[in-house]
Amino acid sequence: MVQTDLGDNRGGLVKGKFITIEGGEGAGKSTNIPTIELFLQTEGIEYILTREPGGTQMAEEIRKLLLSPRKEPVSGLTELLLMFAARSQHLEEVIKPALECGKYVLCDRFIDATYAYQGGGRNLDPGIIRTLERLVLKDIHPDLTILFDIDPVAGLQRARTRGELDRFENEELDFFGRVRAAYLEIAKSDPMRCAVIDGSKSQYIVAEELKNILRIRLPNDA
Ligand code: TMP
């Protein structure tokens, strides 16, 4: 088993480490995930890369439902429940088995996205999210979360050059302002787990900062 100084907040069978990548639209998650993968590969750490919503066949189908623009108004609660339905399947089918056999799990978005988008963006009661979190996550929580932070004006400008907009990317600026504030609040309240990277900096600087964080939080003893 790989030993690290990452906090281990689970007992029992879980041996791998759980790393989540978060951030608003256009903050740089997708651009920088290969840097994390290269780091893990260089350290000889076995890992899987997955994403939310999605990561299994059924959860990817739920992702399509969630992301495709539709005329019918979608209630915040429906959206929240679908996020957790996808997450439940993903946890049971992919995340837990990988962690139990000692692999690292690198996940593009996880529970913090729910607090940021459905809690912050949609103004849903965080108490409801916490109840679902307890029910679905049980004892699985990220050990390290890297948050790419960017002003939504700049982030949306980047994201909206990528082609057709999904249901979230179509939201107005205020929504993304609330998402950003919620993410930063989470990072502030849990600094041992969360590292924030300024996504507005040059790609070179962002990648260097990211490697630094990984060096500090994932010691070279794989
Ligand atoms: P992305 O993975 O391409 O960034 O797109 C996923 C979208 O889903 C993104 O706009 C954020 C949103 N999302 C939520 O609203 N809540 C969640 O819990 C998760 C995982 C994603």
Interval 72-92: pLDDT, tens: 999 999 999 999 999 999 999
Q: Does domain 7-217 have CATH number 3.40.50.300?
A: yes
Task: Name the band, by pLDDT with cuts 50, 70 and 90, for residue 218.
Answer: confident
So where are the chain's domains? 7-217
Mutate to test the pocket of ligand 1, among 117, 123, 160 (most ligand atoms within 8 A of CB): 117
In single-letter form, the type of residue at position 7 comes to: G
Lowest mean pLDDT among 13-17, 178-182, 199-203: 13-17
3-state helix, strand, coil in the chain (%, to 5): 50, 10, 35
Report the distance separating Cα 154 and Cα 168, nearest Å: 16
pLDDT digits (tens, 9 = 90+) for 177-191: 999 999 999 999 999
DSSP E strand stretches across 35-140: 47-51, 104-108
Protein residues with CB under 6 Å of any ligand 1 atom: 51-53, 83, 108-109, 113-114, 117-118, 168
Read off the pTM.
0.94
Mutate to test the pocket of ligand 1, among 79, 137, 168 (most ligand atoms within 8 A of CB): 168
Report the distance separating Cα 135 and Cα 170, nearest Å: 31
Task: Name the band, by pLDDT with cuts 50, 70 and 90, for residue 162.
Answer: confident
Of ligand 1's listed atoms, the one at least distance from the Cα of 29 is: 4
Flag whether pLDDT at 6 surpasses 90. Answer: no
In this prediction, residue 15 carries a pLDDT of: 79
Q: Residue 141: which region, alpha, beta or left (left: phi > 0; alpha: psi -120 to 50)? A: beta
The residue-averaged pLDDT of 154-166 equals: 90
